[in-house]
Amino acid sequence: MVIGGNSSQGLARRIAKKLKAGYVNTSTRTFPDGESKITIKKIPKKKIIVVVQSTFPPVDSNLLHLLSIISQARKYSSKIYAVIPYLGYARQDREFLDGEVVTVSVIGKMLKSVGTKKVIVVDIHSKLALKQLGISSENVSAVSNLANYIKKLKLKDPLVVSPDQGGKERADEFADALKIDFIALKKHRDRKTGKINIITTKASVKDRDLVLVDDMISTGGSIIKATQFLKKQKCRRIYVACTHGLFVNDAEKKIKQAGVTQIIST
Ligand code: R5P
């Protein structure tokens, strides 16, 4: 049976349909102090339970929902699979500065302690993040779906671009699906201020259509900096493809204002 958490009920229903499994809904009531009362609407009487709950913003609240649902579901089954399409905190996969908490590993411990058997995520930020979860897990990718969309566009001499070195493997996979080349820019993020700079000085992108590929867009800072650099190098149009479009505040507007032709996300 598939249980849909508050953030992913539409997706959970579709997964249930594909699996020919029963669907169980959840409801949430929020108290004046901000606490939630979460209820699983029907007792799932099956051996395997799949809980679907993405943890996009509000990240902490959606995460607590996920943990609460799994904890309750564990009373009915020992085989609980957690489908978490967007796993918040995956970028906190290492101690960049002394004393920083590797929160993704804390999340792994919590998922384990409430009784999760296995976690399934989509295009997680890094392999290290998956490792830090410290629980049986699998990453599935939306890259081929995004690439299929790009294939339908009539691009001129296209090139895939990763805004940073961390996304090199993803860009390689994307370019492979399109049978074109890729490059990865060098990005620097100040770990104290969060300020981003592109440190690549030259790229052969003149008069070419570009596909900027990233796992996620949050504030849009990384994509905007890369776009500004690529525009200076006199590229043609820029298409942006990402799996997780969070578009925090007015990120989408700012990306378009920077000169991006189209943003494609799941
Ligand atoms: C960073 O390494 C990630 O892959 C993304 O490029 C980044 O986190 C997106 O965040 P923002 O949109 O705020 O720059």
Q: Write the pLDDT tens digit of every residue in 138-192.
A: 999 999 999 999 999 999 999 999 999 999 999 999 999 999 999 999 999 998 9
pLDDT > 90: percent of the chain: 96
Contact (Cβ atoms closer than 8 angstroms) between residue 61 and residue 29:
no
Q: Which of 133, 61, 53, 51 is nearest to 92 (CA)?
A: 133
Where in the sequence numbering do the catalytic residues fall? 187
Distance from Cα 217 to the centre of ligand 1, integer Å: 6
Interhelix angle for 168-178 vs 143-151, to 10°? 40
Query: Which residues are near ligand 1 (CB < 6 Å)?
Result: 91, 125, 163-164, 166-167, 214-222
Whole-model pTM: value is: 0.95
Which ligand 1 atom sits closest to the C-alpha of 167? Answer: 4
Our mutation pick for probing the ligand 1 site, out of 89, 91, 169, counting the most ligand atoms within 8 A of Cβ, is 91
Q: If pLDDT is split at 50, 70 and 90, which confidence band does 13 have?
A: very high
Provide the token pair at 191. 């770990």
pLDDT of residue 44: 85
**pLDDT, mean of residues 7-19:** 98
